[in-house]
Copies of this chain bind each other. A is one copy, B any other.
Amino acid sequence: MDSVAILGTGLIGTSIGAAAVRVGCGVSGWDGDAATTAAAATIANFRPAATLEEAVEGADLVVVCVPIGAIAGVAARALEAAPDAIVTDAGSVKVSVVQGVAALVPASSRSRFVGGHPMGGSERSGPAHAAAALVDGIVWVLTPSEESDAGAVDGLASWVSRLGAQPVRMDPARHDRLVAFVSHLPQVASTALMGLAATEESDEPEILLLAAGGFRDLTRLAASNPALWSDILVANRTAIARALDLYVARLTAMRDLIDAADATAVERTFSQAKAARLTLATKPQVRAGVAVIQVPIPDRPGALAELTLALGDGDVNIEDLQIVHSAEGGRGMVHLTVSADAAGQTASVLAARDFDPTRLA
């Protein structure tokens, strides 16, 4: 797969194109918007094409990076225009894409389609913010259907590894079911919480005085792009409805335990969730074996720099850093996540600079 066409050159398409150029592939790119094609070609250093057909001519691999609702149609055109190429996509939801392809593409060509979901991106959009580094180390899910050719899937997985990402094979329905829990459900839970507090707040302005760190954590996702998310949620509506049903059932069970003043059962539920949370690490690569260290920070310019500089000097890599402002108040407290191996080094480096670290986990 040395000859690659990118269809749709927004943030993800242009980044994938740049990563393919980086490993020596010949890359062409096309976007429905000619100015976007031109901008992307300059940034990622690939060949701009005036039409979809021109882009896919001679390609071994076509990567469809258009919005979810347009994927199946563009993939169908690519499968027809490039009768020997493997075609994949970059959509966040997979069952609806596979169904769309099955409806639009003749059976003889469907073996060349393999769905994909490169789990990278950022809150930015457009080719101007693209970079090959966006695919470094990310999980890139491949979701072959029963009709996908086994050789095509293997070839695509090798190509994904060559680009620097981590290929993970998964049935489309299983992909959609799992991301419903860990990506789509959190989005809905956050939005509902923010909406509820805002409604309550309309005649209670002081509610915001009382809103501290925990509320901020839970409502951060509520600031995401509404149009993007409504597309994703509707495309994955069956799995999300099921996840929401299970979430509501769990909330209702906890509500009833609290209402019955069953402190023992409430504590047990919290202990189980705490144990599960502590097995989660901050980045997939370092999930096992991390340490979380709490450090109070004076609230003035330069204070955080003293901390991060001390760690950089001490050769400690910060896996995660969050300013938590303490449990309920507005003061400065940092939670650092480092690898468990580096916990001792972190503590001694910080103590030597008069910080007061405490290991939480």
Interface residue total, chain A, C-beta cutoff 8 A: 140
Contact B331 A136, beta carbon cutoff 8 Å: yes
Query: A224 interface residue, CB < 8 Å from B?
Result: yes
Contact A302 B312, beta carbon cutoff 8 Å: yes
Q: Smallest distance from the beta carbon of A278 to chain B beta carbons, Å?
A: 6
Query: A300 interface residue, CB < 8 Å from B?
Result: yes
Contact B250 A196, beta carbon cutoff 8 Å: yes
Given contacts A195-B273, A308-B308, A330-B138, contact A214 B190 (CB under 8 A): yes
CB neighbors of B among A241-290 (8 A): 241, 243-248, 250-252, 254-255, 258-259, 261-264, 266-274, 276-278, 280, 282-285, 287
Give the segment of A55-63, A70-78, A146-154, A317-325 that binds chain B.
Answer: A317-325
Contacts of A245 in B (CB 8 A): 255
Query: A189 interface residue, CB < 8 Å from B?
Result: yes
Count the copies: 2
- CB < 8 Å neighbour of A244 from B255, B303, B306: B255
Given contacts A139-B210, A191-B273, A266-B234, contact A196 B329 (CB under 8 A): no
Given contacts A195-B272, A221-B218, A278-B223, contact A188 B254 (CB under 8 A): yes
Residues of A in contact with B (beta carbons under 8 Å apart): 92, 119-124, 129, 131, 133-134, 136-139, 141, 168, 170, 174, 178-179, 181-183, 185-198, 200-201, 204, 206-212, 214-224, 226-227, 229-231, 233-234, 237-238, 240-241, 243-248, 250-252, 254-255, 258-259, 261-264, 266-274, 276-278, 280, 282-285, 287, 294, 296, 299-309, 311-313, 315-318, 320-323, 325-331, 333, 358, 360-361
